[in-house]
Amino acid sequence: MAAQSELEQFDFLRKLALELGAADAKLIPASKVVIEDRIVLKCKVGCSNYGKTLVCPPYTPTPAEFRKMVSEYSVALFMKFTSRAAADGALQKALSKPATDASLSSEEKQKTDQFWDAWKKDKKEMLASVVKLEKEAMRKGYSLAVGFVSGSCQLCEKCNTETGICAHPEMARYSEDAVGVNVKKTAQNAGISFVFPFPKNPESFALLLID
């Protein structure tokens, strides 16, 4: 397990994460990243994006494989980002329905479209921040630094799953959920609040492994 002094040497990354828009960011020993096989079960059951992007299952490392990879790292930066997309109770009910649901009024459809547009924009900005952090860590000599974000990839309208070749390898990063990270438990280990369901503004989480 990383000593406190070892964590402190990466404080420049924690500070940069906050400058890049993170609502909270904490350095933790990599051993505190919780990886569970059941997390990927939630990808397979109920997620409409399963199998549709190369950063999601079944194209990602398995939890067993990722658990072994994480064991080779000493430090992790865990981050929370708060979206500017906002939804009250009524809109949250509308968001739970498919876009093709005939019961959605034109006003509800407009509001849900606006919510998802804002949410996707924030997801892309979070990804850009994580990639910048990864590159900064590498620039300082930590060549094996690698970042992860939550949720499916938002870079392309349709992913090249047929060829298995990513159109944006310089930007695309695995979803942490897709490799088995229990975001709630890892947030608890990092001392970062995790609220679900979200009261108004959804929160997304990201991870940077450093070595």
Residues 62-108: pLDDT tens digits?
999 999 999 999 999 999 999 988 888 778 777 777 767 777 788 88
More confident residue, 40 or 93: 40
Phi, psi dihedral angles at 205 (to 5 degrees): -125, 150
Residues 127-165: pLDDT tens digits?
999 999 999 999 999 999 999 999 889 899 899 999 999
Does residue 193 have a pLDDT over 90? yes
The percentage of the chain sitting over the pLDDT mark of 90, rounded to a whole number, equals 70
The pLDDT value recorded for residue 5 is: 76
Q: Where do the structural domains in the chain lie, given as residue ranges?
A: 4-82+124-210
Residues 2-20: pLDDT tens digits?
767 789 999 999 999 999 9
The answer for residues whose C-beta is within 8 angstroms of residue 116's C-beta and 6 or more apart is 85, 95
Query: Rounded to an integer, what distance in angstroms lies between the CA atom of residue 208 and that of residue 82?
Result: 17
The pLDDT value recorded for residue 74 is: 95
Where do we find the tokens 């392309």?
A: 156
Chain mean pLDDT for the chain: 91
Find the range with the poorest average confidence among 19-23, 86-90, 206-210: 86-90
The beta-strand segments (E) located in the chain are: 24-29, 75-82, 146-149, 203-210
The pLDDT value recorded for residue 94 is: 73
Mean pLDDT of 166-193: 96
